[in-house]
Amino acid sequence: MKRKLTIVILVVAVLSCLATLVACQHKCTFGEWQTVKEPTCTEQGLKERYCTDSSCNKKEEEKIPVNENNHNLQPVDGVDATCTTEGTVAHQHCTLCGKNFDGNKTEITEVTIPTDSTKHNLQPVSKVDATCESDGIIEHNHCTLCGKDFDTDGNELTTVTIPKGHKFGKFVYDYDAKNYVSTCSVCSETKSENAGSEQFPLLVRNEDELKEVVNAASEGDYIKLAQDITVFSKIVGNNYPTLLLPDNGTLDLGGYTVTVKYNGGFLVEGTNVTLQNGKIVTDYEDPKEGYAVFIGDEG
């Protein structure tokens, strides 16, 4: 019995040695490489292959070098620049290496569009008339981004405000109050200017008004004719004869010294008369031969 067991063991050992010998003498024939992981622009890939002998099935692995052209590109839409924000050119962005490429997959180093001071988001603003108490606004375009204002031709405006205030008309002379009054065409408010200055002279329409104004005038007051006046020397009991106007244009009668613009014996519209150093003078500098046109009261 022991002999048989020993023989069996020897046979198994021989067979085992034969199998090992056969295995040691096997030369693998490998199949095609199979890519397990594609290389990218930042990482190596991996490929593997197996022995075609199914009883062997040995596997080999090999790294695939980095492929700088194998990017994971994602499209990025273009964004226009504005007057306050930068824009972006349309491009493709690699989520692996962070590089950017144009539509032809050519690398680009800059995708930012600088701010453009002419690219505004303009909204029209209608005109608002000013009143006597509140400001108005001119018609214009307002940029909602930078807050600037522009006219309809695109020119920048520094202000769009129409100042509030009255719309006073021309000053009209009040012969009774002897001042100038201007009336607002919107609310009828009035403002006045005292008469007597060069800009706002005392106006006279006839000889009596001229005498009245002269008697009440102050030194340096300006008097102006409002219309043609015919003023002759008064002949009363021959105390006030008609007199010739002297060559110097000054005539002293009844306590008045008068210099006049002579025009055939008339003061004409537009003649300026002022009170200077106690004398009544006009703006006429070259009097001609003729008659005096104003005579003051006696005494």
Q: Is residue 33 part of a domain?
A: no
What residues contact residue 218 under an 8 Å CB cut-off, 6+ apart?
196, 275
Give the Cα separation of 10 and 137 in Å (integer).
117
pLDDT computed for residue 259 by the predictor: 41
Residue 79 within any structural domain of the chain = yes
Residue span of the structural domain in which 106 resides: 73-113
User: Is 172 in the same domain as 210?
Assistant: no
Q: Assess if residue 90 is contained within a domain.
A: yes
Q: Say if CB 263 and CB 205 are below 8 A apart.
A: no
Residue 263 has what pLDDT?
A: 41
Residue linked to tokens 């990218």: 40
Edge-to-edge, what's the strand order for the sheet holding 140-143? Answer: 122-125, 140-143, 149-150, 156-157
Residue 131 within a domain: yes
265 shares a domain with 235 = yes
Residue 239: CB atoms within 10 Å: 9
Number of domains in the chain: 4
Residues 215 and 276 reside in one and the same domain: yes
Determine, yes or no, domain membership for 264: yes
Mean pLDDT by 10 residues, the chain (299 residues): 63 59 70 91 91 88 90 94 95 94 92 94 95 94 95 94 94 93 94 91 79 74 72 36 38 42 47 57 46 36
- 206 and 277: one domain? yes
Residue that has been written with the tokens 């303009």 in this structure: 122
Question: What tokens were used for 22?
Answer: 């056969």
* Residue 194 and residue 169 in contact, taking contact as beta carbons nearer than 8 Å: no
Helix, strand, or coil (residue 250): strand
11: left (phi over 0), alpha (psi -120 to 50) or beta: alpha
Max CA pair span of the chain: 197
Is residue 235 in a domain? yes
- Cα–Cα distance list, 225 to 174, 177, 210, 233, 270 (Å): 14, 17, 8, 18, 6
pLDDT at 254: 42
Inside any domain, residue 130: yes
Could you tell me the pTM of the whole model?
0.49
